[in-house]
Structure 1
Amino acid sequence: MAKFLSFMATILIIATAFTGCLNQVDEDIIKIAYKTQDDYNDASANPQLLADFITAQSGFTVELYPISSDIAAIEALRFGHADIAFLDGGAAFIAWKQHGLDVILANQNSDGSTFYTAQAWVLENSSIQSLEDLEGKNSCHTGWLKSAGMLMPMGYMINNGLIEVSEEIDEIDSLRTIIENHFGTATIPEKGDLYYGYSGGFRCMTEGVGDVAFVKSTSYEDHCEGNDWCLDRSEYRLLSPAFGRVPSHPMMINMEIMSQEKMDIIADAFLALNSAEGGSEILEGVLNTPGISEVTTEGHLGSYSDAIGTIPGIANFFDEKYDS
């Protein structure tokens, strides 16, 4: 019996040591989920440049974990096949709300911010004074299911009781009917149409096609310089409150299986892109951003999630959209 117990104790020690070695190997490797391709016509877009930079900054071996979709990236984080992944706002919403993944960093916009604000504009002489006055008015949207032009304003107004939606409705296509029932005539352009996009939505309102434009808080500054269809700034007015922040692409991790030490090392290595030699070229060429900022999950995705989370069928829509 004593020999048996001694044998089992030895086996346990060996197994524990072996497991520890495996964990140590995993801790010394950073795996980045990334949509890779066989050849890069533009060498500056090759994600291996990013991997090599993070290796140099962290001292870890960095590997690219190939994924074919944002849903695949989320699954890779969930099951520990990858340590980090860059997602867009919709995919990040799914990753956070359905799977408990967290944001630690985010791409910067051209002005250094990590979000833009979705807000409505009207002409200064409009009778519309508040969001409550929008019922029955003609609306200008940037396109079908666009964040600032549709999902954020509709989600905000549904969430705050300005638009009533039956609890039985759970299909994203029902949003078109909800919009048509609430507004007078809704302009929902397709790509290529005159009023498509942020500039088009603002122009739609400026030219009197709609009474309100659902765009960005910075739309006048962004789109009126050099455009002869724009009026003077004094002839426009922002409606308050804003609908919330639309987040830039965040970098997400699974905090349930990543140590705090490793998370800090990863964050510091990526933040070094902002200042280290060769960092700016990788930011622009690989990540398509001028910089990276440290953020929190709630701070980065909170108001976006609050708004779009009330859109009927939004979760199913995102699941289908990002699984391709």
Structure 2
Amino acid sequence: MTAKSNAMTIIFLLISCLLSGCVGDEIQDEKDGTLVIAFEVQADYENIDENPQILADYLSEKMNYDVTLYSVSSEGAMIEALRFGNADVAIMDGGSAWVGWQQYDLEVLGADQKSDGRTYYEAHAWVRADSEMAEAHLDDNRYTDPFALLSGKTSCHTGWLKSAGMLMPMGYLIGLGYANVIGDPNDIETLRNTVFSYFSEDSSIPDSGTPYYGYSGALKCLSEGAGDVAFAKDSTVDSYCNNEDPSENEEWCLEIDEYVPLPAFGRSPSHPVMYNPEIMDVSTMELLTDSLVGMSDDTEGAKILENILNTGGIVKTNAQDHLGSYSTMISNIPGISAYYSDKYDINGTVSPTVDTIRLAFEVKSDYENIDENPQLLADYLSEKLGISVEIYPVTSEGAIIEALRFGTADLAFMDGGAAWVGWKEYGLAAMAADQKSDGRTYYEAHAWVRADSEMANAHLDGEASTDPFALLSGKTSCHTGWLKSAGMLLPLGYLIGNEYAEVIGDENDISSLRDTIHNYFSENSSIPDSGTPYYGYSGALKCLSEG
């Protein structure tokens, strides 16, 4: 081989080795993808183990991704970063996560665990064991409603706009029609008036640093008799009043069996791991989820969870499972979306989350007056909401309830009796009520008597000991018709509930009501059929007037 050939061979080998080394380095350093974590990064960390860069480095190794941090200054900035693709993932609190999910279609891939392993705590109304609310809750009678008995009581909240102490219970009470929104439904300050209206002007909405602030403060408020109900989480009583070492209990604690929790309002979620499904692909989401969930099984990962994320572990979940119960409550709060948008400094408008609303309505086969056609209502709502609104025709109030129960309709107008059945038996909720000609959303049911009757004398004599309702026993009653609301159901419900009248017959058979009427009043009592002289309101009054 010539010198020239040897030189060329050596040069070729050197170049080959150089290129091989370069290629080898590229293969060694090549990552499978990139991931950006939005995080509120501090300017300096006194404890180096709390630096989130450690989390990024850990995930980079586990996923073989180039993982970097995107520094943000607020939860709102996290939402914006996920919305516009500046970051792929963020861990945030339940309130901001709810906004991201409801308004911007962000999703949840995991949630951190609390000390007991749960990813939530339950919000309860705590009452004294000797209260009428506790009695109604524990009597195994589905028709004695402890939440209805909260009206007019003095409530103890943990603070203004606190989750378990205010937002969740008030969202529950408003959503199920117990409490009416008092004021502008788009102003969060309306909630204060709503609290005072449904409960009492003396209700406690404490500021930070005052004696009844926080979970311990709300329970102290109840324990000391300053309030009738405390809104707190499921572990509150045990945390302050049921420690293994009694000396650790608060001095104001009552005996543990003197506290009774009413059924939970819902679940307040732990911190979820949020991402934008329109930007992050499924394979990356699944790889990240597996890496985060597996951290608790790894010594290094467990240390990072504790020091940086303040949790013992992360579990796999989704937005509906993790935030659904919370959302049901929070969305009923007046002005809550605007409040959170301002709090998190988010720009954007609320948009509907459904494409179509189906309105159940008893539709006639033909309308002589075209202005009475419910399609006009559907068209109006469609224009205002910017989505399709369809009429779902039904033939009865019962069919309306069935349509709402099974999801074939989303909304319906119905009378009070049917609405009550839907609420009590099937968990339907009221969102609004129509007004009568005088602006009220109700009318009052009365027993009308002749001015010269002993019942009138007992009512007007100013004596508390003379009871006009007791004097109704044995009298001939005039009802508007069978199972009419003001003419039968309300008065008999009152008389039975207050133990004036005794139920005669099977308590589970509606026909027993007729025997109850004839037993308490008279065999001659009027329960007219439609079309007879004493039917309806005019008929009942005619019955009284004609003696």
Cα 1:204–1:253 change in 2 (3 A) is same
The SS at the match of 1:186 is coil
1:38, CA displacement in angstroms? 2.3
Pair 201,167 (structure 1): closer, same or farther in 2 beyond 3 Å: closer
Q: How does 1:61-140 map to 2 (within 5 A)?
A: 61-128=66-133, 129=136, 130-140=146-156
CA distance in 2: counterparts of 1:259 and 1:199, whole angstroms: 45
Q: Which one scores higher on RCO, CA 8 angstroms, separation ≥ 6? A: 1
1:168 deviation in Å? Answer: 4.7
2:309 is paired with a residue whose SS is coil
1:169 CA displacement: 2.3
Give how far 1:101 is off. 0.4
Deviations 1:271-307 (A, max 9, x none): 1221112112211211111211111111110011110
C-alpha distance in structure 2 between counterparts of 1:301 and 1:26, whole Å:
34
- 1:41-88 per-position Cα deviation (integer Å, ceiling 9, x unaligned): 111110001001101111111000111111111111112111101111
Relative to the length of structure 1, the TM-score reads 0.89
Is 2:292 the partner of 1:287? no
Q: Is the 8 A contact 2:184 2:334 kept in 1?
A: no
Deviations along 1:220-275, one digit per CA (max 9) or x if unpaired, are 112213222212221111112x1100001101011112111110111111112211
- Say which of 173, 177, 188 aligns to 1:157: 173
Query: Is 1:233 matched with 2:256?
Result: yes
Q: Does residue 306 in structure 1 map to residue 323 in structure 2?
A: no
Q: What is the aligned partner in structure 2 of residue 210 from structure 1? A: 227
Among 42, 47, 50, the residue aligned to 1:37: 42
Does residue 196 (structure 1) correspond to residue 213 (structure 2)? The answer is yes
Distance 1:172 1:91 in 2: 16
Q: How far apart in 2 are the matches of 1:148 and 1:269?
A: 32
1:26 Cα offset (Å): 10
Report what 1:183 is aligned to.
199
Residues 201-280 of structure 1: matches in 2 within 5 Å?
A: 201-224=218-241, 225=243, 226-240=249-263, 242-280=264-302
What displacement does 1:138 show?
0.5
CA distance, structure 2, for counterparts of residue 217 and residue 72 of structure 1? 32
1:323 Cα deviation from its structure 2 partner: 2.5
Tell whether 2:63 aligns with 1:58. Answer: yes
Superposed CA deviations along residues 138-163 of structure 1, whole A, max 9, x for unmatched, are: 10000000000000000011011111
- The 8 Å contact of residues 181 and 190 in structure 2, kept in 1 or not, is answered as no
Gaps (5+ residues) in structure 2? 1-29, 137-145, 244-248, 347-547
**Could you tell me how far apart the structure 2 residues matched to 1:115 and 1:49 are?**
27
CA distance in 1, matches of 2:283, 2:187: 43
When the two structures are superposed, what TM-score results if normalisation uses the length of structure 2?
A: 0.53
Asked whether the 8 Å contact 2:107–2:276 carries over to 1, the reply is yes
Alignment partners' CA distance in 2, 1:167 and 1:305:
22
Counterpart-to-counterpart distance in 2, 1:197 and 1:110: 20
Cα distance in 2 for partners of 1:175, 1:248 equals: 24
Q: Is the 8 A contact 1:143 1:197 kept in 2?
A: yes
Report if aligned partners of 1:244, 1:303 keep a CA contact under 8 Å in 2.
yes
Q: Which amino acid in the other structure matches residue 147 of structure 1? A: S
Residue 322 in structure 1 maps to residue 338 in structure 2 = no
Query: How far apart, CA to CA, are the structure 1 residues paired with 2:164 and 2:64?
Result: 41
Structure 2 counterpart SS, 1:187? coil
Q: Is the 8 A contact 2:109 2:316 kept in 1?
A: yes
* Number of residue-to-residue matches in the alignment: 299
1:57·1:272 contact (CA, 8 Å) conserved in 2? no
Q: CA 1:151–1:26 in structure 2 vs 1: closer, same or farther (change >3 Å)?
A: farther
2:33 aligned to 28, 34, 50, which one? 28
Q: CA RMSD in A?
A: 1.6
Q: Residue type of the partner of 1:238?
A: P
Partner SS, residue 98 of structure 1: helix
Q: Which piece of structure 1 moves more, 139-148 or 27-36?
A: 27-36
Contact preservation (8 Å) 1:190, 1:196 = yes
Give the SS at the match of 1:157: helix
1:115 and 1:293 mapped to 2: Cα distance?
12
- How far residue 37 of structure 1 moved from its aligned partner, in angstroms, is 2.2
1:120–1:217 CA contact under 8 A, matched in 2: no
Separation (CA, whole Å) in 2 of partners of 1:35 and 1:133:
45
| Equivalent AA in structure 2 for residue 215 of structure 1 | A
CA positional deviation for 1:27: 6.8
Q: Matches of 1:152 and 1:287 in 2, distance apart?
A: 25
Contact 1:106 1:249 in 2 (8 A): yes
Is contact 1:149-1:214 (8 Å) kept?
yes
For 1:144, the equivalent position in structure 2 comes to 160
Counterpart AA for 1:259: D
Change in 2 beyond 3 A, CA 1:176/1:168? closer
